[in-house]
Amino acid sequence: GEDVEQSLFLSVREGDSSVINCTYTDSSSTYLYWYKQEPGAGLQLLTYIFSNMDMKQDQRLTVLLNKKDKHLSLRIADTQTGDSAIYFCAERNSSASKIIFGSGTRLSIRP
Amino acid sequence: NAGVTQTPKFQVLKTGQSMTLQCAQDMNHEYMSWYRQDPGMGLRLIHYSVGAGITDQGEVPNGYNVSRSTTEDFPLRLLSAAPSQTSVYFCASSRPGGQGTQYFGPGTRLLVL
């Protein structure tokens, strides 16, 4: 079945780049997403990438997709304290009826 | 638009009690889903619906029922609550086409004693 995996924690220094990685199993995924969850809140879409793209850039965010290895990454440039959150990778299945989420990566920023 | 709303925000139940978590959206989205979030396990899909009158099971459906009588509402029922159902529950909605962005409600924290 579909599965999405992420590491649970990442700690970076303020001002450095953060790279959050994700692997997925469904080779027929159409869209892949990064969601952000701040403490006590629901999830908000950060960015998404269509499966026929390799890269997408949106201001400080860069998404890289390696479809052959089924690997997705999110790079946050110049990481700030406001970027502290849990980041979820997710894929949309081929029938487009449901989205499968990873376990989330908790990003913490140190001064 | 209010987006996706959930009630209650917080609930304490005793083992064996029943309750319904409410979810409503005013964006005319066809797709709606329920997830539970547990530490270290991310979001797990409980049930989902692709339109009024149509529901299907997700990864962890046991102990939960859903119905979808209208496009706007997608209630989640716990028939006999168990401590293992202590969790944070999120409802989400999306359109079937396009990039399928899911819009999430603020969540319901449920504690089962």
Confidence of residue B102 (pLDDT cuts 50, 70, 90): confident
Which of A56, A94, A97, A105 is the mutation pick for testing B, counting most B CBs within 10 A?
Answer: A97
Question: CA-CA distance, A31 to A72, in Å (whole number)?
Answer: 11
Q: Using an 8 Å Cβ cutoff, are A23 and A89 in contact?
A: no
Return the residue of A nearest to B38 by Cα. Answer: A103
CB B78 within 8 A of CB B19: yes
How many angstroms separate the CA atoms of B68 and A106, rounded? 34
Mean pLDDT, range A63-83, rounded to an integer? 95
The mean of the pLDDT values for chain A is 91
Which of B35, B43, B99 shows the shortest C-beta gap to A48? B99
What whole-number distance in Å separates Cα of residue B93 and Cα of residue A80?
30
User: Measured between CB atoms, does A96 come within 8 Å of chain B?
Assistant: yes
- Whether the CB of A46 is below 8 Å from some CB of chain B: the reply is no
pLDDT at A27 over 90: no
| Cβ contact A46:A38 at 8 Å | no
User: Which of A41, A88, A98 faces B106 most closely, judged by CB atoms?
Assistant: A41
Handedness of CA B51, B56, B57, B61 (dihedral sign): positive
- Over residues A41-61, the pLDDT tens digits come to 888 999 999 988 999 999 999
3-state helix, strand, coil in chain A (%, to 5): 5, 55, 40
pLDDT digits (tens, 9 = 90+) for B49-75: 999 999 999 989 999 999 999 999 999
| Amino acid letter, residue A61 | L
Tens of pLDDT, residues B32-53: 999 999 977 788 999 999 999 9
**For residue A2, pLDDT beyond 80:** no
Q: Would the CB atoms of B31 and A31 count as touching at under 8 Å? A: no
First to last CA, chain A: 41
Determine the Cα–Cα distance for residues B6 and B20; give it in Å rounded to an integer. 11
CB distance B30 to B48 below 8 Å? no
- Output the pLDDT for position A99: 84
B102 contacts on A by Cβ (under 8 Å): 35, 43, 45, 99
